[in-house]
Amino acid sequence: MKRRILAFIFYILGVIAVCIIATVSFISMKINPVLNGPGVTETVKLSNWFEGIKNTNMDTNVYVFDSGVEGGSILILGGTHANEPAGILSAIVMLENIKVETGKVFIIPYANNSAISHNDAMEGAPEFYHIDLPDGSTRDFRFGSRRTNPTDQWPDPTLYNHQSGSTLGGGEVSNLNRCYPGDPDGYPTEKLAYAIVQLIKNEKVDIVIDMHESSPEYPVNDAIVFHQNAAELAITAQMMLEMDNIQIRLEESPVNLRGLSHREIGDSTDAMVLLLEVANPSQGRLRGKTDEDLVVTGLDKFYVQAAKEGKLYAPYDENGYPISLRVARHITTIDYIIQSWNMMSEKQILIDDIPSYENLINDIGSFLIEHEG
Amino acid sequence: MKKVSVVFFALAIFFVGFVFAEEVFTLEQPAFITSAGQSPGALQMTVVCKMVKLDYTFEKLMTADDFDPQAYNCAIFVVGASGKGLGAAGIDIDEETARVVALAQKAKDNGLPIVLTHLEGAARRGASSDLLFNELSPFADALFIKEESDAADQMFSNIAEEKEIPIFFFEKTADLKNVISEVFGL
């Protein structure tokens, strides 16, 4: 009898231990990592612009680079979709390296902070990936989800009736890039979109860049999607990129595609809005094993085969599409967008120490500060 | 005999000069620009035209009924089919083809020289883009083509050769400035 009671107690203790470990692990995923860089002048919460997300997992860090010299301003968004790591990593590389000489830069690496706190286990997605640093150590980064964590927003409706009148699938109300321009009284993700739009309006942001990744079989790939007000900016940047032998496609934001950053922020604010896409096989439906290696190298044998059969919209071969290349494309595109802006506007944005395309491809780790991710 | 030789030589120079003069293709401002396929290529064209200070009007959905050929000295069709662009315009590829063909016909009937352009490279080649180009090619007086667009199958080179019209190649979009400057004498 005594043995049975002891076995029962050990069993209960074991269950409690598992629960505690799982809880600690789960809660730790919700801690927004604080980053830093030599040019950051202030780190503030997005809730500064809309209190409705304060003390929730939707709130996120905004890194401000204020030169103190009057000029233009730009908001750079990574992590709108937290399973598109090149956008997040590009934002982190920029914030850990740049210094702003004229104008003001805002960087939000985890635009949907809730989405980085979980991942898509049913997609076989990894929880983390790491980048090698020059000293031999590694830096770990989370791999998140396209959508808001259900513990922050649940349940979603069967259909999402966007305020524009469009009807979307219900799950899209958890997708930040379908919730713009946001709703202060809506779902948490709609509140998040509203907060970002308030930042843009209140800070009179001139340019907004939203960084993404896309499946190589998707036609809008390695592309700049631009609101019509930003056409000249996008086209000039494209021509500059082309001069450096970086091919990028242009797509104008369709007026009837609602809820997306390039459409709604462009319509509802004075900012010029551009969305960047870069090909990533770990996003695609043709991929095989989905692991950290695929995220970092972008190499998948099924995509190699698809490329040979002419099924892809991105140049792809046995070299894969590594994250260093994807980040290099994003950052160089941002650099040329800013240069284009400076050619057109008196409100200059002058930034030093943007890592170059070649250096990022060769050794992205040397542009990351050696601390936790 | 000497006199005959001099006359023959003079005639030969005149004839050769005449032939070469015929080969110089020129256009006059103002230009009318439209899209054929609603891709951003037409917008790229306008940015390049702005850079070289060309006098132009851009209407991406201009119809033959609304087009005033007397207001322009040439018409430029920038070919590139975009599903998103057509969807945003609320038209399909058949409607777009009908629109641009009617527009080209009206321009041609009114004596406007017509240029077809493809400047978005291989990424903007495909069945719909090729369909538009082939439907418009009977009206073309010249082609402005990005080298990469033509590289795989020389479709544009072949059209130019068959129609015996000039084709102007450029390597990068920014190089189109040189073509426009040359043709318009800017």
The model's pLDDT over A134-175, given as tens digits with 9 standing for 90+, comes to: 999 999 999 999 999 999 999 999 999 999 999 999 999 999
Contacts of A275 in chain B (CB under 8 A): none
Contact B88 A250 (CB under 8 A): no
Contacts of B172 in chain A (CB under 8 A): 239, 242-243
Task: For chain A, report the end-to-end CA distance as a whole number of angstroms.
Answer: 51
Mean residue pLDDT of chain A comes to: 94
Q: Is A235 on the interface with B (CB under 8 A)?
A: yes
Contact B87 A232 (CB under 8 A): no
| Residue B16 clears pLDDT 60, i.e. is over it | no
| Residue B13 clears pLDDT 60, i.e. is over it | no
What is the per-residue pLDDT for A32? 62
Contacts of B85 in chain A (CB under 8 A): 252, 254
How distant is the Cα of B173 from the closest Cα of chain A, in angstroms?
6
What is the per-residue pLDDT for A98? 98
Question: Tokens for B181?
Answer: 């400057």
Question: How far is Cα A153 from Cα A172, in angstroms, rounded to an integer?
Answer: 12
Cβ neighbour number for residue A150 with a 10 Å cutoff: 13
Q: Which residues of B122-143 are buried (b: 16+ CB within 10 A; e: fewer)?
A: ebbbeebbebbbebbbebbbbb
Report the pLDDT averaged over residues B143-169: 96
Architecture of domain A33-367: 3-Layer(aba) Sandwich (3.40)
What is the per-residue pLDDT for A121? 85
Nearest to A267 by CA among A343, A163, A119: A163
Instruction: Supply the angle between the helices A231-243 and B41-51 in degrees, to the nearest 10.
Output: 80
How distant is the Cα of B115 from the closest Cα of chain A, in angstroms?
21
What is the per-residue pLDDT for A370? 80
Q: How far is CA B17 from the centre of its chain?
A: 26
Percentage of chain B beyond pLDDT 90 is: 83
Nearest to B116 by CA among B104, B106, B125, B127: B104
What are the C-alpha distances in Å from A75 to residues A115, A205, A267, A356, B136? Answer: 20, 7, 16, 20, 43
- Torsion angles phi and psi, residue A241, rounded to 5: -60, -40
Question: Tokens for B108?
Answer: 């041609």
A26 band by pLDDT with thresholds 50, 70 and 90: confident
ipTM beyond cut 0.90: no
Residues A287-319: pLDDT tens digits? 999 999 999 999 999 999 999 999 998 999 999
Q: Which of B85, B90, B120 sits opposite A252 (nearest CB)?
A: B85
| Residue B5 clears pLDDT 80, i.e. is over it | no
A37, A63 Cβ separation under 8 angstroms: yes
Q: Which domains does chain B have, with CATH numbers?
A: 27-184 (3.40.50.450)
Question: Tokens for A311?
Answer: 């099924």
Contacts of A225 (CB under 8 A, 6+ apart): A251, A252, A253, A262, A274, A275, A276, A277
Contact A238 B43 (CB under 8 A): no
How distant is the Cα of B80 from the closest Cα of chain A, in angstroms?
11
Report the pLDDT averaged over residues A236-241: 94
B127 band by pLDDT with thresholds 50, 70 and 90: very high
Cβ neighbour number for residue B55 with a 10 Å cutoff: 13
Q: Is A251 on the interface with B (CB under 8 A)?
A: yes
B11 band by pLDDT with thresholds 50, 70 and 90: low
A373 band by pLDDT with thresholds 50, 70 and 90: very low
Question: How far is Cα A161 from Cα A177, in angstroms, rounded to an integer?
Answer: 15
Q: Where are the domains of chain A?
A: 1-30, 33-367
How distant is the Cα of A239 from the closest Cα of chain B, in angstroms?
6
Residues A362-372: pLDDT tens digits? 999 999 998 65
Residues A256-291: pLDDT tens digits? 899 999 999 999 999 999 999 999 999 899 999 999
Q: Is A257 on the interface with B (CB under 8 A)?
A: yes
What is the per-residue pLDDT for A34? 77
Residue with tokens 């989800």: A145
Cβ neighbour number for residue B17 with a 10 Å cutoff: 10
| Residue B18 clears pLDDT 60, i.e. is over it | no
A281, A303 Cβ separation under 8 angstroms: yes
Mean residue pLDDT of chain B comes to: 90
A24 band by pLDDT with thresholds 50, 70 and 90: confident
Residues B22-75: pLDDT tens digits? 568 999 999 999 999 999 999 999 999 999 999 999 999 999 999 999 999 999
Residue with tokens 């692990």: A25
What is the per-residue pLDDT for B139? 98
Contacts of A231 in chain B (CB under 8 A): 40, 43, 47
What is the per-residue pLDDT for B23? 66
Residues A316-359: pLDDT tens digits? 999 999 999 999 999 999 999 999 999 999 999 999 999 999 99
Q: Which residue in B61, B78, B84, B91 has the most chain A C-beta atoms within 10 A of its own C-beta, making it the best mutation to test that interface?
A: B84
How distant is the Cα of A41 from the closest Cα of chain B, in angstroms?
37
Q: A 211-230 residues with CB below 8 A of B? A: 219-220, 226
Report the pLDDT averaged over residues A222-242: 95
Q: Is A242 on the interface with B (CB under 8 A)?
A: yes
How distant is the Cα of B153 from the closest Cα of chain A, in angstroms?
15
Residue with tokens 């996003």: A283
Give the residue on B whose Cα is nearest the Cα of A245.
B172
Q: Which of A239, A250, A313 sits opposite B40 (nearest CB)?
A: A250
A209, amino acid identity: I
